[in-house]
Amino acid sequence: MHTCFAEIIRKLTGRLLFPKHLEKLRAKHVFAAREKVERMPQTPPFAAMFDSSGYNRNLYQSKEDGCGGLYYHDNNLLSGSLEALIQHLVPSVDYYPDRTYIFTFLLSSRLFMHPYELMAKVCHLCIEQQRLSEPGQDKNRIRKIAPKILQLLTEWTETFPYDFRDERMMRNLKELAQRITSGDEMYRKNVQQLLQNLLRKLATVSQYEEVLAKINATSTDRLTVLKTKPQSIQRDIITVCNDPYTLAQQLTHIELERLNYIGPEEFVQAFVQKDPLDNDKSCYGDRKKSRNLEAYVEWFNRLSYLVATEICMPVKKKHRARVIEYFIDVARECFNIGNFNSLMAIISGMNMSPVSRLKKTWAKVKTAKFDILEHQMDPSSNFYNYRTALRGATQRSLTAHSNREKIVIPFFSLLIKDIYFLNEGCANRLPNGHVNFEKFWELAKQVSEFMSWKQVECPFERDRKILQYLLTIPVFSDDALYLASYESESPENHIEKDRWKTLRFVSKVTHINK
């Protein structure tokens, strides 16, 4: 059972992800199809089409707003009735919607209706307006409209493939595709290619989710009750990988793989609520689908706890200090790579109370490099330093000549919070009932940037042994971390002494019950 987005947000704002020095956090308020169908309208590169000016109809639009219901200001689409916006999505013989509009509307429309309902409406409009249901259709007309309808379906299936895990979506897709091919056989190959690509994507994500389930099961099966600090039950990270640069690269492998499976719609579906103009249904809120997003948040948590576990586990002080310095080097290399998510997870793990209280251990650590990293990720001024570094990494990515330079892995929890507060801070509907499309341009702009980041292929060689360790080795719970910490360096006050006494008692009782 998956946690709801409200629970994720609580996790993101709690001690789990933002320990001690990060509690100040107060976040403020591409797709061309791989193979262009013949005679498709050409548009600029996906990322370049989003700018502060929004969507300019003079640049891309060739259809007059005869249907009404759309409101522009300085040629920028600001709002419209839901029906008019749906109509604006549907191509005709002399019109094809701009790709930024397609992405933005497909992304945001799920706040108002199920994707399968939108697909049904689009199919109905295509069939009725283009007279695809009439016998003896004009082949010349079919050849003018069919490539445009196929292009729209291609963009939908390429960018939002998870929508089509719903059988109702697949039925509508196949029905419309069948209408096109029955009108002219020349499009059968294009339709078959579209469906094959879609089914391949869906099979791949199903396999990925099965792998995730196995990893979680393996980790759970190996997790034993940690009464004390048994050194025999697990190796330490330095034994498995003594090179911090290699570990940073393997962390980047995990980050990019998990990022790649997050669908853009998950950012929106995670906070879908009831549409105030819809009295019958809680638009998509009953079937929130953000499992890959949630799995990525859980990975951040796991890495933070893994770091804390590795530090608290060694008996000797010099060994603990060595592990701290090792993770400082890993974190620095993550920063150099552009892997800000692993960087912040490592910093979070090192700032958990069971680790930060180890004063004698920290006294043996050269912390200058760590201080620099903490400064870079300082949450003050709404993470100003981090956002500056992120912009630098993004600029490097845009001009990169290699995949190594293209890597940008954002601090994901902050990205989610930015999107969450954008959604919370602006109404979906205007007082006149129109959809607030100005809001959705900004939402699409943020998500589209993420989409370009997640498509980068990891340039580093995979090390299966290291990856297996990172993903499945058991990690200490909060109580086990405190117990290990107190046994490494004795409690300093009555509160710590009482807690230590309680933890030891619970540990013994648990061992007896076993």
pLDDT at 452: 92
* pLDDT above 90 for 277: no
C-alpha span between 164 and 176 (Å, rounded): 14
In this prediction, residue 285 has a pLDDT band, given cuts at 50, 70 and 90, of: very low
Measured between alpha carbons, how far is residue 468 from residues 240, 465, 473 in Å?
10, 5, 8
The Cα–Cα gap between 299 and 465 comes to: 18
* pLDDT tens digits for range 234-274: 579 999 999 999 999 999 999 999 999 999 999 988 776 55
Going by C-beta distance under 8 Å and a sequence separation of 6 or more, which residues neighbour residue 45?
30, 32
| Whole-number Å distance between alpha carbons of 267 and 118 | 19
Q: Does pLDDT of 40 surpass 90?
A: no
- What whole-number distance in Å separates Cα of residue 508 and Cα of residue 99? 63
Average pLDDT over residues 340-366: 96
**pLDDT (0 to 100) of residue 358:** 96
Give me the percent of the chain exceeding a pLDDT of 90.
Answer: 61
Confidence of residue 229 (pLDDT cuts 50, 70, 90): very low
Number of other CB atoms surrounding residue 192 within 10 Å: 12
| CATH 1.10.840.10 is right for the domain spanning 242-270+289-513 | yes
CA-based nearest residue to 259, from 461, 440, 389, 408: 408
Region 95-107 average pLDDT: 95
Quote the mean pLDDT of the chain.
82
Domain positions in the chain are 76-199, 242-270+289-513
The model's confidence at residue 131, banded by pLDDT at 50, 70 and 90, is low
Instruction: For the beta carbon of residue 225, count every other beta carbon within 10 angstroms.
Output: 12
Instruction: Return the CATH number of 76-199, one of 1.20.272.10, 3.30.750.24, 3.40.50.300, 1.20.870.10.
Output: 1.20.870.10
In the predicted structure, residue 426 carries a pLDDT above the cut 60: yes
Taking only the tens place, the pLDDT of each residue in 164-200 is 999 999 999 999 988 888 766 788 889 999 999 999 9
Do 46 and 31 meet the contact criterion of CB atoms below 8 Å apart? yes
The secondary structure of 429-464, three-state, reads ECCCCCEEHHHHHHHHHHHHHHHHHHCCCCCCCCCH
CA distances from 289 to 11, 163, 179, 267, 428 (A): 18, 10, 30, 9, 20
Q: What is the dihedral of CA 82, 87, 90, 92, to 10 degrees?
A: -170
Q: Which stretches within 160-243 are classed as H helix?
A: 167-183, 188-222, 237-240
Q: Count CB neighbours of 56 within 10 A.
A: 17
Predicted confidence (pLDDT) per residue in 377-416, tens digit: 999 999 999 999 999 999 999 999 999 999 999 999 999 9
Pair 425, 3: CB distance under 8 Å: no
Phi, psi of 73 (to 5 degrees): -140, 125
- Beta bridge partners, 429, equal 435
Residue 224 has pLDDT above 90, yes or no: no
More confident residue, 506 or 359: 359
Question: Residues 19-46: what's their mean pLDDT?
Answer: 34
pLDDT score of 140: 74
Q: What would the mean pLDDT of 344-353 be, rounded to a whole number?
A: 96
Q: What is the pLDDT of residue 85?
A: 96
| The predicted structure's pLDDT at residue 150 | 93
- Above pLDDT 70, what percent of the chain? 76
Q: Phi first, then psi: what are they for 72, rounded to 5°?
A: -115, 150
**287-317 pLDDT, tens digit each:** 447 789 999 999 999 999 999 999 999 999 9
